[in-house]
Amino acid sequence: MVNGYSRQLYWQIHHLTQNHEDTDDVLQNTFIKAWKGIDNFNADSAISTWLYRIAYNESISFMKQKREMASIDDEDFIGQATFVADEYFDGDRTQHLLQEAISTLPAKQKQVFCMKYFDDLKYEEISETVGTSIGALKASYHIAVEKITKYLKGKE
Amino acid sequence: MSTKDKNILDAGGKYPFKVSDEYFDNLAARIMEQIPEENQVPQADNARTETKVIDINARRNRQNMWIKALSIAACFTLVVLLSIKFFPTLSNEEEATAEMTAQEYTDDDYNEDLMYYSMADYGDVYSYLSGAE
C-alpha cells in the first residue's frame, strides 16, 4: 500500500502543507491510520479515495494544531508559507509568489486549485477523489483563481 | 490582472517542489518501524490497546451468550414437546383411577365409614332402627 500510493498522497498532502517536513509527518500518520483502520475500509469506494480522505483529514488536523500553536484564530486560514530557505523548493521568483498566494487560500480551495492547476486533473477525477460535486469544485477553483489574482496584483 | 499574472495562471504548471526518490524508497521501512511501536505503546495508548482486547472479548462473549440462549431455547422446546406428547396419557390414567375409585366406593362402604366415625356398632344401629331405648 505504501509503495503504491505514497507518491500520489505525498503531493496531495504537500498541496496543503507546502513543506516537506509537515508532509512527511502527515503522510506517515496517514498510512498508520489506514493500517489501524483497514477493517473499516468500505470496499465500495476505491482505496485511493479512502486514503485521500484520511490524508486530507490528517492534513487539516495537523495544520489546525500547528495554527493553534501559532495562536491564529481563523479556522480556514492555514497560514502564509515562506519558501526562501526551503531546500525542496525548486522554482523561480514567479513560482515563489504563486506559492505564497496559494498559501493564503483555505484548505479546500487550495487542494482543488492545486489538483486542477498543477496536477492537471479533470473535475470528474477531482470529484471522485475529493467527494465533492463538480459544480462545487468549479466554484472553489474560480474563487481560488480570483483570490490568487488579487494577491498577485497586490504584489506588483 | 497584469499580463505576467495572467500568464502564470494560464500556463498551468510544474509544481515547484522536488523530493528525492530515496525518500519514497525508505518511507515504507520507516512507517513499518512505527507500527510495532504503536502496538507496544507503553503509557498513553494503553487504553486504545485495551479497547481492542475488550472488543475481541466482547465479540466472544456475545457469541457465547447466543450459544447459551439457543441451548436454553432448545431445551425448553424439547420439554414442551415431551409434555405435549405425554401429558394427555397421564391425565387419562388419573381420570381412570378416579372413576374406578368412585365405582368401588359403594353404599356399604359409606355406612361402615359412617358407623366408624360416629363410634357406633351394629347393635346400636339395630336398637335405633327398632325404636328400643
pLDDT digits (tens, 9 = 90+) for A54-113: 999 999 999 888 878 776 555 555 555 566 567 787 777 888 888 889 999 998 899 999
Q: Per-residue pLDDT for B132 more than 70?
A: no
Contact A28 B24 (CB under 8 A): no
Torsion angle (degrees, nearest 10) of CA B100, B106, B110, B116: -90
> How far apart are the CA of B70 and the nearest CA of chain A, in angstroms?
29
Residue with cell 484520511: A54
Residue A97, number of CB atoms within 10 A of its CB: 19
ipTM: 0.74
Contact A145 B24 (CB under 8 A): no
pLDDT score of A11? 92
Contact A149 B9 (CB under 8 A): yes
pLDDT score of B12? 60
Q: What CATH number labels A2-154?
A: 1.10.1740.10
Domain spans, chain A: 2-154
Query: Which chain B residue shows the shortest CA-CA distance from A153?
Result: B1
The confidence band for B49, taking pLDDT boundaries of 50, 70 and 90, is: very low
Q: Which of B105, B39, B5 is nearest to A36 (CA)?
A: B39
Residue of B31, B45, B51, B56 for testing the chain A interface, max A β-carbons within 10 Å: B31
Contact B17 A156 (CB under 8 A): no
Contact B12 A118 (CB under 8 A): yes
Instruction: Tell me which amino acid residue B132 is.
Output: A
pTM attached to this predicted model: 0.58
Q: If you average pLDDT over residues B39-62, what whole number do you get?
A: 48
pLDDT score of B54? 36
Residue of B1, B17, B20, B22 for testing the chain A interface, max A β-carbons within 10 Å: B17
